[in-house]
């Protein structure tokens, strides 16, 4: 006896590899039901990352998957998100009401890490997630200006906790709100760590699916301490294609792995430059470095961002690309990076916490 259309469609869809997570729908347990309704076949699917803006592309891909399996019956797709909470090191205490903490890091400064962090947070919010942004760069806080909040101050209702300012709809906290913008932070490492932990724990974030943390550049004691004190879920490494930046990016990547934090992928920034006058394309900072770094360290390239003056001008003006020019090619890349990073994080949550290795001193 032949199986019914529901069973055949389920079998076909379970084999579909969702490209952002790299998992089949069957392995991810994403296919909630396939049933016959008065309007026809309906597949209900739940993914572990925000899905606003993804419905059309996803449904089209599933239709191709079904057709390749010889299924001719039309079907509808009902897509929704259920974002799991995940802490990489189970010995750290999860933050109240915050499901996931994504660290945006770089081995060195000047690669556009803060620009990526701001746009990534806004892209996740635009895709339907509840998102907050923490500026952990104590020595060089830039998120107040990037998020259009320069001159703002957090408020308090109880004298103990902060109600953070909101930039473009999301809560933002930074040491830049608490000091004069021209005042240098002449602090040693323990003071920096304490300031960050206090901002993190004393801020009334509300319920969040993701807290995006703009990490300070480098791989020293401060960065290592932060990754051990903050319940990080996953990390995104930002680099430019040039070799000197890649050398430092490798160190950042390895630092997270040594403390058991999954590296969600690499973002290559300032790649291709198109001359606005003649249209000539050139690789100012070399080409292919981000892809090679991802290949060598068995992770993925989340996206490649162009070297464009508009991206810089938009964050300098307090309106990052995702909100300033949401239909631009660059905004599309930021959305792709956000979706891939969130999907990879969901896959990490399914696979469980990373075992913590012993930290040892090694000769490179």
pLDDT in tens, 88-129: 877 777 888 999 999 999 877 888 999 999 999 999 999 999
Q: Residue 49's pLDDT is what?
A: 97
Confidence of residue 358 (pLDDT cuts 50, 70, 90): very low
Rounded (5°) CA angle 335-339-344 = 150
SS3 225: helix
pLDDT in tens, 169-186: 999 999 999 887 666 666
Q: Which CATH superfamily is domain 5-81 in?
A: Fe-S cluster assembly (FSCA) (3.30.300.130)
pTM: 0.90
State which fold the 98-351 domain adopts: Rossmann fold (3.40.50)
What percent of the chain shows pLDDT beyond 70? 88
Name 171's bridge partners: 166
Assigned token pair, 76: 């509808």
Assigned token pair, 342: 């969130």
If 0-12 CB within 10 Å is exposed, 13-18 middle and 19+ buried, where does residue 255 land? buried
pLDDT in tens, 44-64: 999 999 999 999 999 999 999
Domains in the chain: boundaries? 5-81, 98-351
Q: Residue 186's pLDDT is what?
A: 60
Decide if 109 contacts 139 (C-beta within 8 A): no
Assigned token pair, 139: 């020595």
Query: pLDDT averaged over the chain?
Result: 87
What percent of the chain shows pLDDT beyond 90? 60
Q: Residue 287's pLDDT is what?
A: 66
Q: Identify the H or E element spanning 35.
A: strand 31-37
- Give the Cβ contact number of residue 336 at 10 Å: 15
């Amino acid at each position: 006896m032949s199986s019914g259309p529901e069973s055949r469609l389920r079998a076909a869809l379970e084999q579909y590899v969702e490209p952002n997570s790299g998992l089949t729908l069957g392995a991810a347990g994403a296919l909630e039901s396939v049933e016959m309704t008065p309007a026809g076949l309906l597949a209900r699917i739940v993914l572990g990352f925000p899905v606003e803006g993804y419905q059309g592309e996803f449904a089209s891909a599933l239709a191709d998957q079904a057709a390749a399996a010889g299924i001719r019956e039309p079907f509808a797709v009902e897509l929704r998100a259920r974002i799991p909470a995940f802490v990489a090191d189970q010995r750290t205490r999860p933050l109240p009401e915050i499901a996931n903490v994504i660290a945006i890091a770089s081995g060195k400064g000047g690669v556009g890490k803060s620009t990526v962090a701001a746009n990534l947070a806004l892209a996740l919010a635009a895709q339907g997630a509840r998102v907050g942004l923490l500026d952990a760069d104590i020595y060089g806080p830039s998120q107040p200006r990037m998020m259009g909040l320069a001159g703002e101050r957090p408020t308090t209702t109880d004298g103990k906790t902060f109600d953070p300012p909101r930039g473009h709809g999301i809560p933002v906290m930074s040491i830049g709100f608490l000091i004069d913008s021209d005042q240098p932070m002449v602090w040693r490492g323990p003071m920096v760590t304490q300031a960050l932990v206090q901002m993190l724990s004393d801020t009334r974030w509300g319920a969040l699916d993701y807290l995006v943390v703009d990490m300070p550049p480098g791989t020293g004691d401060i960065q290592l301490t932060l990754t051990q004190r903050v319940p990080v879920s996953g990390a995104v490494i930002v680099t430019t294609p040039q070799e000197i930046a890649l050398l430092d990016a490798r160190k950042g990547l390895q630092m997270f792995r040594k403390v058991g934090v999954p590296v969600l992928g690499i973002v290559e920034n300032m790649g291709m430059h198109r001359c606005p006058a003649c249209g000539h394309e050139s690789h100012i900072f070399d080409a292919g470095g981000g892809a090679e770094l991802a290949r060598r360290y068995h992770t993925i390239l989340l996206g490649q961002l162009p070297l464009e003056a508009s991206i810089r001008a938009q964050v300098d003006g307090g309106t990052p690309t995702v909100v300033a020019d949401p239909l631009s090619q660059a905004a599309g890349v930021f959305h792709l990076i956000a979706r891939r990073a969130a999907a990879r994080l969901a896959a990490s949550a399914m696979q469980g916490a990373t075992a913590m290795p012993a930290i040892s001193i090694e000769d490179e």
